[in-house]
Amino acid sequence: MSEALAVVTPVAAASRAVLRRIEPGNMAVCSHCNQPVKFAAKLHKMQVIANVYVDGRWNRVEHFHDECYGEADTPYGEIRT
């Protein structure tokens, strides 16, 4: 009787962007406008967080105000939720 072997297909890591609430204590600076991405209790603002990969390896995280991400021509693709 032979055993079945699992085949792992490598997946190339790619930069991606997600939409998240701005949390209290956030110290991020927007990569587009260079202004702080500030928490505001009653406004429930959102931010775009992008994991940036270079040559298939994680390099950094970039933060954007949700409106700035579009103004920057969505540099890391369509926003995932």
C-alpha distances in Å from residue 52, one per residue of 13, 22, 36, 69: 9, 19, 19, 14
In this prediction the pTM is 0.81
- Three-point CA angle 5, 8, 11, nearest 5°: 170
Q: Say if CB 4 and CB 36 are below 8 A apart.
A: no
* Tokens found for residue 10: 């490598």
Neighbours of 41 (CB within 10 A): 6
| Domain positions in the chain | 16-80
Residue 9 pLDDT? 66
CA 5 to the chain's CA centroid: 35
Span 11-50, pLDDT tens digits: 668 999 999 999 999 999 999 999 999 999 899 899 999 9
pLDDT at residue 5, rounded to an integer: 74
- What is the structure's pLDDT at 77? 94
Give 51-78 pLDDT, tens digit per residue: 999 999 999 999 999 999 999 999 999 9
